[in-house]
Amino acid sequence: MGKLLRRVRRTPERLLHPLRRRNAIEALRARPRPQTILVVCHGNICRSPFAAALLVRELAHDMTVQSAGFAGFNRPAPPAAIAAAQRHGLDLGDHRSRLVTADLVRSADLIVVMEAAQQRSICERFGRRPADVLILGDLDPAAVDTRTIYDPVNDGVEVFEQVYDRIARCVRELVAILTPAGVPTS
């Protein structure tokens, strides 16, 4: 019964995803190409450092990519995050978390978050427009049940790998849009 209720609750998200995806792509194409991207998640130890590392690897080197979080400072990525990132050819071993600051938010041309609540928080706390804050999951080319990219902080490597696979799909879409001849997958 619980599984059925979760599925029913997520039906609106599943139905809205294609529209949100199209709107996100159109909004990104309509804006100037960002020179500075800030990737934000809750603690800056799992999702945002991985997404930022992927963006650094895949984007032109004339762009600056940083990551930050709302909680914790100078914390390392968990061992499961480091192991899952290595599968994607990324090393999070030296990563240390940092907090979102007004200066970081102000200097970013584009802010990428993992959840709608994080988008609202950036807008409310730092005065950014919603159009400046992308929910990364909205770019997912797969049919998904939620726009939120799950926080695997207390999970094992298998869950991190699933989450990182989703982040990688979304980052590929973002890179395709931001790259001059970029065309995201349909």
* 41 given a catalytic annotation: yes
* 151 given a catalytic annotation: yes
* 47 given a catalytic annotation: yes
Catalytic residue from among 20, 109, 151, 169: 151
- Cα(7)–Cα(43) distance, integer angstroms: 28
Catalytic residue from among 21, 41, 132, 166: 41
Catalytic residue from among 47, 98, 147, 166: 47
Judge whether 55 and 83 are in contact, CB under 8 Å: no
**Which helix (H) or strand (E) covers residue 139, if one does?**
none
Residue 51 in tokens: 């997404």
- Cα(101)–Cα(13) distance, integer angstroms: 31
| Buried-state track 108-132, b at ≥16 Cβ within 10 A, e below 16 | bebbbbbbbebbebbbeebebeeeb
- Catalytic annotation, residues: 41, 47, 151
